[in-house]
Amino acid sequence: MSSSYMSWRSSASNRRPTQPTNTSKNRGTIYPDLNQDPTPKPVIHFLAFALIVFLGLLQFLPASHFRHPSDPHRNWVPFNSHSSPSPTVKLTVDEDDGLIHIVSWMQCLDLKVLAVLANSTLSSSRYPDLLHFHFFTPQGDKDKVSFYKLKVLFPHSNLELHGQEKVKEIIKRTSSEAEYDSLNLEEIAPFIIPSVHQSLTKFIYVSPNLILMGRIEELTGIDLSAHAAAAAEDCSNRLNSYVSSDVLDAIQRSASKPWISVTPYVKDACMHDLSLLLINGKKLEEFLEAVLWWSKVLNWSDRSDKRNPAIGLALYNRYLKLSNSWLVKEPASVDTIETSIITHYDGPKIVCSEFGNDTIPGSSHGNLWIKYLPSMSNQILGI
């Protein structure tokens, strides 16, 4: 064992460190760079500066699109989103509470019809959280059961039930019994509601027997500052079908009322579609008086079988025409449904009668209403 240790010591002691070799002679000579960094041409500087100035000036252009904070999809929406050539439309809401108020008047309470109206409007709107429904029913807010049923179907919606008594009292106080009976309350009530509910100065009136498939918020941007209402025109009903031109000429020559047109009446003028209206309550001075005056002059209380043109004459030169796309259509075919944004309700409904409320037989029903009936309606409404 000692011999092996000594042999290791001898071999280790005989090792000699190797001398480092000078490799600097093998390296090439290092020369500094002879060329300077490339200098951009002056035109490049000018173009870059011009681009910066151009991008800065873009910040001063008016915005063309916006994203509403309530939209969960954060979609860009153009400010002028209405495609029709009628007045410029942009999304505007009530100045006081920021909501879009939708009013409907129902003579006989039918929750099924109201549910279809509300659901079709909400599902078609881009901003359903901004819609506020005001349903005027016979019992109004006293009918707590009906209100809670609607809230179960639409828990996140804004809706109220209002009574009809105050609106009817104003009409009865101003008219005779015969005149009151000749009026269609669903047609005249939208023009009286602002005098009862001061907060409803601008709203959209929708007949309860409608199905809305268009974006109702597109109506809110129409400028009604100089008009009492906005309505679509129904040219299937014309003025000369209700009043002869000779009678209108005689009334215009002999009477001097502020609601009589200064210019000659267009004898074949299209009548207004009163199923959907945009109401400006600030421009409805003497409107009820004008309607009752026309009814009396035309002796319309004796002709209750025909549509009363008094509202159309009272609105003459005081309304703004809506696009024809807002004219209510009949859901007669698939093509009509696909091309329309608003149609009549085609489901079973309750109608008023002297002997109680009846339901229209099922043979005349369509299928469109089922599409917009909330899923829990069978359990909640007992359909």
- pLDDT tens-digit series, residues 227-277: 999 999 999 999 998 898 899 999 999 888 999 998 899 989 999 999 999
Joined together, the tokens standing for residue 14 give 């005989």
Contact 229, 277 (CB under 8 A): yes
Full pLDDT tens readout for the chain, 383 residues:
444 444 444 444 455 555 555 544 445 555 555 556 667 778 788 888 888 988 888 777 776 665 554 444 455 655 443 333 333 334 445 555 789 999 999 999 999 999 999 999 999 999 999 999 999 999 999 999 999 999 999 999 999 999 999 999 999 999 988 888 888 899 999 999 999 998 898 999 999 999 999 999 999 889 998 999 999 999 999 999 889 889 999 999 988 899 999 889 998 999 999 999 999 999 999 999 999 999 899 887 656 556 789 999 999 999 999 999 999 988 776 556 667 899 999 998 888 765 555 555 544 678 889 999 998 888 888 76
CA angle, residues 271, 246, 253, in degrees to nearest 5: 100
Domain layout of the chain by residue ranges:
100-236+272-343
The 3-class SS string of 145-194 reads: HHHHHHHHHCCCCEEEEECCHHHHHHHHHHCCHHHHHHCCHHHHHHHHHH
* pLDDT averaged over every residue in the chain: 81
Cβ burial of 221 (10 Å; 0-12, 13-18, 19+) is middle
Which architecture characterizes domain 100-236+272-343 according to CATH?
Alpha-Beta Complex (3.90)
Nearest to 119 by CA among 216, 211, 203, 220: 211
Per residue in 347-382, pLDDT (tens digit) is: 988 887 655 555 555 446 788 899 999 988 888 887
DSSP state of 139: S
**On the CB side of 356, how many CA atoms lie within 13 Å of its CA?**
2
